[in-house]
Structure 1
């Protein structure tokens, strides 16, 4: 009788992201967690995902942020969630993506510390489990105020709910960063629909400080016009500038009073994102990098 095999190190970032989100079969998750906890590289990646989730939730509650997310970005994220939910419901045999919605008031951190006794685990994490892993024991202290061993951990699978507001885009942004950290996965959830021609959006005025609120409007887009409109031309420009990375999005902008192109790339370290602004005349033999910033 065939038996399921448990993945062995080194673990892929896609597998770790699914495990972190509780998106794996129960029997495999129970066997995988103890092994992952003993792998320093895997733990570093899981802690990075936790920090992203924590930072995003903190930003959503920070009253000092005076610039709300642009309505255009909110609408795009809402549309993405709705399309993915519709695609999953209509075709169970072809899995395009999974979006996890966790209520911020009852969502336990998966790795800081990870739930020691849940449907995804087999027992308490001992000091031997993390010996030599490069992490301090206090990171897994189950007596800390961040974790209550007697608290209820809800593993119930529920039907997707229709949510709106900040929680929707916070969850979508965290899920997107988790995928970007490992590999760029192109998802065409509406490939059966006939594309409707739309006018190219007007370039935004981008500050020289590259504020994340404006920069992230390029995520998932590819509506550049002019000399850098093709992926080959844009890739040639970026390679000449020493930025041969996966492109996450691009759009036309006005930067320091001149026409330019904003491009989002995978960052130097997961789960960072690198934002660059290049001149429209940038090319393989003439890199014209105007600005650069790492986000995350």
Structure 2
């Protein structure tokens, strides 16, 4: 089973590519193997998420896989920081496509026991593949040239599942999608991106990057006021305010099949009944569903 992912991407080349990207992202790209893939966020100076990406470290480049519509803003940001660095950054959103294979065991060319990032021939060209959990079970993201899409999908065979079905699976598993859930502009620790969270994307030992001082303070303090939780209910839009006893206590993410993720205050009572965009919902902690 596979799902086409609306996405974009940047390709970073040049002698300083790894060090340059390392100095911008929350994950530890320098410490990753080659090939390797690292989940990360790009923050502003207040430590809030501007973009979420998966960075693929390869022998000749760094590929940043982003959600749809995110590449142009990250490209502009990275270009502002190029001073003496020997790097070039290219937006490849129009030339590449991505499909998520829900389970990689039967994927032709994929070594289930191999590294998290691999390249192999599929269809009429070479694909870049990364082990990514988008449904509660580790699957594989495949990145390929747009002109090869028909051949790649034919080689996959199997059944196409809708993006809504993939969203429903990840929400049940408690896995956020930063862009689709509308969680841009918040602290990573508040929406499951911290170490030990459902989508770890931070290294506290990698050195300086934009927003790193705020991350260090949060690590020392040990907590934030908000965390990632689930809401049982239906009928709200992404980003809707969540209220309890007349006060705003968070924001709701995507809702599918009567369940959604949300950024909520930690001091909310367990199983609290809340209002989301005028509809009733009930809070479910992620731990309670595991």
In the superposition, the TM-score normalised over structure 1's length comes to: 0.27
Instruction: Give the structure with the larger helix fraction.
Output: 1
Higher alpha-carbon Rg: 1
Instruction: Give the structure with the larger strand fraction.
Output: 2
In the superposition, the TM-score normalised over structure 2's length comes to: 0.27
